[in-house]
Structure 1
């Protein structure tokens, strides 16, 4: 009996995400986000997701909030650095109380994922002791270390139903390799019941074996071929950030929170609902724009 192949389409992979799930979204700030699958999740009309972002998430989580699919968010940061220091939809939703925010810093979020990955109910943590975080987030509990008697935080495990991530390449059997910084992605894969990776390209198992030290995940549940799948964000080693596109998004988001939703509705229609596939989305972006992203 041969090994099981796990190659899947964007549409089939996105269909694994159901209403009310807790999902992890990989990436770091302005790079390596699974945007092809995120757009399809929005298109599928999924609702009431608990979204666990990278400890330093980018505007992809802001986009999910604006599209109305997230009810709760856990991450330490949502923004686009100089493009948008704080995500427009995220800021408004938190102020208005339309989403729940699981307050944490980067290390505490990693501790929560680590606890889930190791099958623990919580992870002991010293960071945050003496701060207001346990007052803001009542899930963080003080306890006394039984060995030395010092005060520590119990950080509860955050388990994921599905982790959705973007990587450089993988083979048909679900062995995934990265160029660049994986940050908390690997913790997400270990904390999740199921794991979806979209990749820039599919390579042979022999290619994977040539550089085994690059392998960061294996036996994943779905491997999705999605060239330019992180657009408009960067993909390390492949293409740079599309700043002009993200400026278009930020302008539409800011207009929407100021009472003029038409621009964001047009953005969703053009880039999410009108394209029938990821390839159709790329045609809308255009080959000239995509090739220009090779100019770092």
Structure 2
């Protein structure tokens, strides 16, 4: 086209899951989006485990699910920042989270949901902390010395300084994106947006890549405007749900829970390591993982 140069052409942000996971180095802080049993970037989570990442600080959602539990079980996470790790309707608390916490295998940053979002907001604003009233007069600052009580110099009232939760790489899962990284969620998105704002880089796996025209047709639905990279990953949140596409795979979730609970109760990792070998380190790629789950099992998860 007349007058157009290479620099004028927008570059596609579509990447493979291996490239997204390669942005993480040992010791980094990562965030995993979603909410309890929905919307977790599981294709990326499994790749991080396959890559043998270690000593990561994992920022879960305000209500994390078993995706965080799995990263603990696989030895990827050494620090966890989340108000809750569990599986609503399946398990009150993640068994690996409980086991590792009790045994001192991980450091847990104790905070409530208000503190969690205050910390993300501080990071997004590029300030060292965010003042907050929640928790004043409780033992939270004693349990977590990173939460500092101080006197507000304006009104002389007691507040808590919540340190910024700085994220190197955020990993999210959403419904659709165009090739330029403009992402649109179905359902819950607030936590994912907060992670994106606090992160240096953000990679999003999506159920489907759509045309830029479709994104432009309803721009108010765009939740992440320009992710670092987009991964094509149909059923990319399995065994958890993706709003508008499929529901949680209860049978598979319970398979993981049984394996992790065996480690919690007996100290024997045999069942847990067998699960990891079968469904994480064993499959060659995401498609191979889906083949191991089976087409009939996947089709049975249709939401409508």
The yes-or-no answer on 1:267 pairing with 2:282 is no
| Maintained 8 Å contact 1:28/1:183 | no
| Maintained 8 Å contact 1:71/1:98 | yes
Aligned to 1:216: 223
Aligned to 1:281: 289
The yes-or-no answer on 1:30 pairing with 2:60 is no
| Maintained 8 Å contact 2:15/2:230 | yes
Distance (whole Å) between structure 2 residues aligned to residue 259 and residue 145 of structure 1? 47
Distance (whole Å) between structure 1 residues aligned to residue 263 and residue 110 of structure 2? 25
1:181-220 to structure 2, matched below 5 A, reads 181-220=188-227
Report deviation, 1:295. Answer: 4.8
The yes-or-no answer on 1:40 pairing with 2:47 is yes
| Maintained 8 Å contact 1:71/1:99 | yes
Distance (whole Å) between structure 2 residues aligned to residue 82 and residue 219 of structure 1? 34
Distance (whole Å) between structure 1 residues aligned to residue 105 and residue 17 of structure 2? 29
Aligned to 1:177: 184
Query: What is the CA deviation profile of residues 223-272 of structure 1, one whole-angstrom value per residue up to 9, with x for unaligned ones?
Result: 00000000000001110010000000000001122133221111111111
Structure 1 window deviating more from structure 2 (254-263 vs 6-15): it is 254-263
Aligned to 1:293: 301
The yes-or-no answer on 1:238 pairing with 2:245 is yes
Distance (whole Å) between structure 2 residues aligned to residue 44 and residue 260 of structure 1? 24
Query: What is the CA deviation profile of residues 56-111 of structure 1, one whole-angstrom value per residue up to 9, with x for unaligned ones?
Result: 00011010000000010000000012311111110111111110000000110110
Distance (whole Å) between structure 2 residues aligned to residue 4 and residue 124 of structure 1? 40
Residue of 239, 247, 264 corresponding to 2:254: 247
Residue of 15, 25, 50 corresponding to 1:18: 25
TM-score w.r.t. structure 2 length? 0.96
The yes-or-no answer on 1:65 pairing with 2:72 is yes
Structure 1 window deviating more from structure 2 (145-154 vs 172-181): it is 145-154
Report deviation, 1:157. Answer: 0.4
Unaligned runs of 5+ in 1: none
| Runs of 4+ residues over 6 Å off in structure 1 | none
Distance (whole Å) between structure 2 residues aligned to residue 16 and residue 112 of structure 1? 23
Secondary structure of 2:155's counterpart equals coil
Distance (whole Å) between structure 1 residues aligned to residue 42 and residue 182 of structure 2? 21
Secondary structure of 1:82's counterpart equals coil
TM-score w.r.t. structure 1 length? 0.98
Residue of 138, 141, 144 corresponding to 1:134: 141
The yes-or-no answer on 1:114 pairing with 2:101 is no
The yes-or-no answer on 1:159 pairing with 2:166 is yes
Secondary structure of 2:168's counterpart equals strand
Distance (whole Å) between structure 1 residues aligned to residue 270 and residue 182 of structure 2? 43
The yes-or-no answer on 1:92 pairing with 2:99 is yes
| Maintained 8 Å contact 1:108/1:125 | yes
Structure 1 window deviating more from structure 2 (225-234 vs 251-260): it is 251-260
